[in-house]
Structure 1
Amino acid sequence: MSSYDWMSQLPVELHTIPLYQLAIPGSHDAMSYDLDINSKIIEPARLTRYSKICCLRRILRRWAATQEVTITEQLNAGVRYFDLRIARKPDDTNPTRLYFHHGLYTRTDVETGLKRINVWAEKHPKEVIILSLSHFYGFDKTNEANLHNHLIQFIKDLFGTRLLLSMTNPTLKSCWEKGKNVIVSYDHSEHQRHALWQSITYFYGNTMDRAKIKSKLQDALEKKRPSDYFFVCGLNPTLPHDVRILKYVLRLCDSFPKVIRRGLWKLLPWVNQQHQKTPMNIVASDVVTRDGFVATIVKLNLKHAEKK
């Protein structure tokens, strides 16, 4: 099975099961490949006052850039879920312009990034894309509602008839019949406007220790995973939020993607084993085009088909 347009190649018996029962490869901090070295530091909070120190921004970028290739390349590789974190620059002269972020702002603004996704979606009508918008940073209280309203309206206008509005039990077949292939989850309850989907729970280990990641995810999958909605099993490790972070960031020849590449392949066999006990829906990772990640997740669907 090709990972490029893999949804349209799934066995016919999987066309009518809810999308939240499919195994879907996802991208954690999907736009972080585009972080701007000249940006102000926006997190962690204790470092924001040191934004003018160039070498600090360079270090932060090495450890905040969780993806290596563009959003289009991720789509081409078979990724169908994207974790997109939204921010507003306080000194931007454009009143509604937004950026993606992870430690730093991205170079690409949100509207440009979404347009690139839309171009791909138009060319691949049978591939359903799930966009999860969250972490709305820098939304000033006096302008917050306007920013949300502008972004939501832009999303509706951009994706148009391809945007699947919130509904019960969407399937590949129902999406194809309606000509829909974009789902947008909006993690802000006051501004979902019913048309967009509610936030998607993201389970993750919150540690750099692979054994603990597996243990925490196993516990979440066994006790907390929803039965009738999307959920994410995040394989991504997380840097410490205290002085222990120095153990990693002071390695001058190392970076977060390198750390992931050394460990991701060790997590994928666990995914195969755990999926047999507690089927996964969206499985998200860093460096998504490495170590057969996409192919591993897509193949989980074939095991599902064998059971039907």
Structure 2
Amino acid sequence: MSEVNRSLGELPTDSWMSHLPEALQEVPLFHLAIPGSHNTVTYCLDKSIRSPVDLTQPDVLKKLDKYMKPVVRPFVHKWAVTQGSNIKQQLDSGVRYCDLRIARRPRNHSKDLYFYHGVYTTVTVETVLKEIREWLDAHPREVVILSFSHFQDLDEELHNLLVETTKNVFVSKLCPRTESVTLRNLWNKGYQVIVSYEHGIVSFHDHLWMHIPYWWANKCKAEALVEEFERRKGRGRPDGFFVAGINLTEDLKYICSHPTESLKDLVMSTYPVLLRWVEAQRPGPSGGCINIVAGDFVAESRLAQTVISLNEHLLNK
């Protein structure tokens, strides 16, 4: 790795965008290499047995959870947590893409919305958005991409409420989808937040961006994930923003055969293989290039620094 490349990887992770060379400040964000976190808000999943499992879980798990909660729930929790650090810690670690999966909790008659993965979070969506706003206020030249997706049990009223909440929290920081998304332009206009939204309501709001494609390999082995992504790269990258999610997916067979382990054990043991693949990637507009790379337990790994370093390739053109 060259000295310059090392310097990009060693930029302060809480403000790495602010410190990019001038040449990279003119590159559209969808041609840069950007670190992200998969299922960003799972660090605060509800451990209480009173909390239901989320509606996407298999029927067999729902039945087991209903009758054997004290036994089943610890297993659900340790395989559902994908990030051990809170939102501000993730942003400090270099994360600039957040994967936000939003739901209304069953049997909750309030209009509060939560995140979910296996079970629901204890903190609301609005609380986390306000924490992101606070962080952005302290880092005025950093830009975050928030992907709202996998909506669960939201009706039209709740979608409208979520959109209005987003507007009220971020106000003038929201970037319209018609804007040029170079850092230089975003800085000049004070935009710091790009919100993609996986719902038809996006067409009625110019500050909402179309859903960002997320490459998900659905593999529990790092080598199989790499093989799948190489196949996809051969078919070319999507236009605009897209995510290569290097998050592994455990199946029931794997969980049952590793009863003393957790998702974190699986992820951390496979990061060496995954990071070697990331190190070999290049950002840019060409067919085989990457853009956002998202993973699990990002703040506990060197994923962010590795991804940021990839932008050196754009300086050598």
Match of 1:205 in 2: 217
User: Is 1:132–2:147 an aligned residue pair?
Assistant: yes
- CA deviation profile, 1:81-128 (whole Å, cap 9, x unmatched): 00010010131131x211000010001111111111111011111110
Partner of 2:6: none
Cα deviation, residue 253, structure 1: 2.3
Partner SS state of residue 33, structure 1: coil
1:76 matched residue in structure 2: 92
Q: 1:200 to 1:166 in 2, by over 3 A?
A: same
CA positional deviation for 1:239: 1.8
SS in 2 for 1:29: coil
2:233 maps to amino acid: L
1:279 to partner: Cα distance: 2.3
Aligned pairs, number: 297
Q: Any conservation in 2 of the 1:31–1:67 contact (CA below 8 Å)?
A: yes
**Aligned-CA RMSD value:** 1.6
Which contiguous aligned blocks of 4+ residues in structure 1 show a shift greater than 3 angstroms? Answer: 49-52
Tell me what 1:288 maps to. 298
Q: Which residue of 1 aligns with 2:58?
A: 45
Distance 2:152 2:254 in 1: 28
Decide which moves more: 209-218 or 188-197.
Answer: 188-197
TM-score of the pair, normalised by structure 1: 0.92
Q: 1:226 to 1:269 in 2, by over 3 A?
A: same
Q: Tell which deviates more after alignment, 79-88 or 40-49.
A: 40-49
- Tell me the alpha carbon deviations over residues 181-204 of structure 1, each in whole angstroms, 9 at most, x when there is no partner: 011110112345232000000012
Unaligned runs of 5+ in 2: 1-10
Structure 2 distance, partners of 1:246, 1:215, is: 21
1:189 and 2:200 correspond: yes
Task: Give the partner amino acid of 1:259.
Answer: L
TM-score between both structures, scaled by the size of structure 2:
0.90
Partner deviation per Cα, 1:262-297 (whole Å, 9 max, x = no partner): 001221111121327822110000010233111000
SS at match of 1:134: strand
Residues in 1 aligned to 2:101 and 2:282: alpha-carbon distance in whole angstroms: 28
CA displacement at 1:165 relative to structure 2: 1.3
Amino acid across the alignment from 2:313: K
Match in the other structure for 1:166: 177
CA distance in 2: counterparts of 1:145 and 1:134, whole angstroms: 15
- Asked whether 1:93 is paired with 2:109, we answer yes
What is the match of residue 18 of structure 1? 28
Give SS of 1:106's match.
strand
Structure 1 distance, partners of 2:41, 2:163, is 19
Partner Cα separation in structure 1 for residue 202 and residue 180 of structure 2: 22
Amino acid across the alignment from 2:91: L
Q: Write the distance in 1 (CA, Å) between the matches of 2:256 and 2:152.
A: 24
Structure 1 position 68, deviation (Å): 0.7
- Measure, in 1, the Cα distance between the counterparts of 2:290 and 2:82: 22
Identity %: 38
For 1:74 and 1:210, the matched residues in 2 are separated by 23
Q: Where in structure 1 are there 5+ consecutive unaligned residues?
A: none
SS in 2 for 1:284: strand
**What is the CA–CA distance in structure 1 between the aligned matches of 2:275 and 2:256, rounded to whole Å?**
25
Q: Distance in 2 between matches of 1:197 and 1:128?
A: 15
Compute the displacement of 1:138 (Å): 2.0
